[in-house]
A and B are shown apart, each in its own frame.
Chain A
Amino acid sequence: MTKTISDVICPFCGTLCDDLVVTVSDDGTKLLDVENACAIGAEKFLHSQASDRVTRPRMLQEDGSAVEVSYDEAIEYTAQLLAKAKKPLMYGWSSTSCEAQSVGSEIAEQVGAIIDNTAAVCHGTTLVAVQNVGIPSCTLGEVKNRADRIIFWGCNPAHAHPRHMSRYSIFPRGYFTGKGHKNRKLIVVDPRTTDTSSLADIHLQVEQGADYELLQALRAAVRGQELTGDIIAGVPKAKVYESAELLKSGRFGVIFFGMGVTQSLGKDHNIDAAIMLTKDLNEYTKFSIIAMRGHYNVTGSGQVLGWQFGFPYSVDLSRGFARYNPGETGSIELLKRKEADAIMVLGSDPGAHFPIRCVREIANLPSVCIDPHITPTSEICKLHVPVAFVGVEVGGNCYRMDNVPIDSRKVVEPPEGMMTDEEFLRAVNTRITEIKAA
């Protein structure tokens, strides 16, 4: 016999689909099947069932081999490492629950750490832009029910957020959008031809690294101003005007943007200009803008840090109060400049995403990696602590890319004796309190 669990939340991307159906063995120990998920999401669930999964902490040895240690030893090592450090960096937090993030904050306060999430290398620039100019936005259901103009700028949801277009943005029929995609006009801005751009009514093949120029040109065009030059950032001037008119003529438009604009030349300024374009368009019609956030709960980390410290990422608590300034307190800068003297990574893989200088620095520092998987980060950290999969083996709150909170579910038991990240962090926190009191 098997059990079927419905309304399951997918802990993969920021789309945070919550309509998965998972089949598990009767005793709840084996996960057998996943329905409704995209290929990546299904793989995430099934990966938890891998037979070669690491289930106990491991210490890296001098010779590069790894030796299994107990969770107690791992707790002691982690607590000592953080308690002794003068400026520890606690990085990651995007692939875990808000509950675990919250315990992370308590630890960070106790030890005077810098706590940072993966926004540092993806949508942090978006957050900076929002701080400069705000953000007119809406939930994904609003897009489904109202939108007739969609822009995908620097993102490729067909591959990175596979169910985004069918659930929310292009195909669904909503309250005011009974004709589904037939009444939606799609503009894709991407230097390359992609599976997403093949669906577009207008594909603006912007010159790489010239998004800002194109955005400001569009803004000027929306205002009916004259543009300088015949080709604007790789796009014929006439096409810029045509796009501006298409956007103004809609009833409800949305710009979705991804890392193609957040991490190319100008970074936050690109998003800043995209937001201001959205704001300008509200003079003519209704327009919103939504960031295509990557990890399933990177948004949640920003929320938790926000209500606890007032900043969405790169929060420096070293002086006993919260400070924030990406460019100084961001993980990349800290590692590159060798500002930190210890690092703990949870729910992220900087080893795979950071520049080599930073990865080197991680390898040099006292380091702990808390992650269900073996990753390029766990490979270089002194201690790797495997934990249960959040959203599969333990529940917890998560925030979708539009900041909507959804409580993820536990569908299957973790392997015997494995800790969740929240449990592990609580134990570390308790131990640090003891060390500090002594």
Chain B
Amino acid sequence: MDKLILYFQYPFVRYALIVGVLIALCSSLLGVTLVLKRFSFIGDGLSHVAFGAISIATVFNLSNNMLLVLPVTVVSAILLLRTGKGARIKGDAAIAMISVAALAFGYLIMNIFSTSSNLAGDVCSTLFGSTSILTLTKGEVWLCAVLSVCVVLIFILFYNKIFAVTFDEDFAKATGTAADAYNLMIAVIIAVIIVLAMNLVGSLLISALVIFPALSAMRIYDSFRKVTVFSAVFSVACALAGIVISILAGTPVGSTIVAVDVLAFAVCYAVGIAKGR
């Protein structure tokens, strides 16, 4: 306990906690929609795209790599989520393809044009998030907070529309809901969340933040609203626990959060069985 209080005197620990909780909240909100639309792996795919973009930004020595990473990720998200209507390569295959290709090219570019002496370390920290969450500046925390508030607000305001579009896109479209526009909106929000989340858990573990809360909630609850609320609570609780444990035990932040998520999922699974579903 003393150790914890000591650590919380450092601003970077507080920043990490704030950003971690916000990102966990945002990713879990859209996680339910993504899992139900069979896009569980889009987090993984998009984060690899972001990884590729980061390598390019590094090579060109862009001072603020967000300027490149965010637009590239948003465009990829839109392309992937157009649900392959008439597309030549569909859903999961398209995600797998873009994801692997971006990863390979990102690593290749970093390797060829590397300016850093510790290449393996750079790649590792981009993929697994390792320490970057502990080096956040005040500005980044504010940016993250503002974007998170936007995501949560948009989600609440468009909650009923997101539900209608997720449950039955054709029906929504046929009866006059602008389903395409809402799909586009969902894609953009997801891309923003993923770029934010890369700081926290790194690109490999983002899928975990998206799918575990949703899957756990779906084991226990029966209505869309309850599932959404519970997955948000679940995600925030796991992120808090994970960050605290990683501080006390000195483990990597991202993988600790995911490990807590997995354990909590197991508990929810057991509760689901006990409830007879």
Q: Does B bind A?
A: no
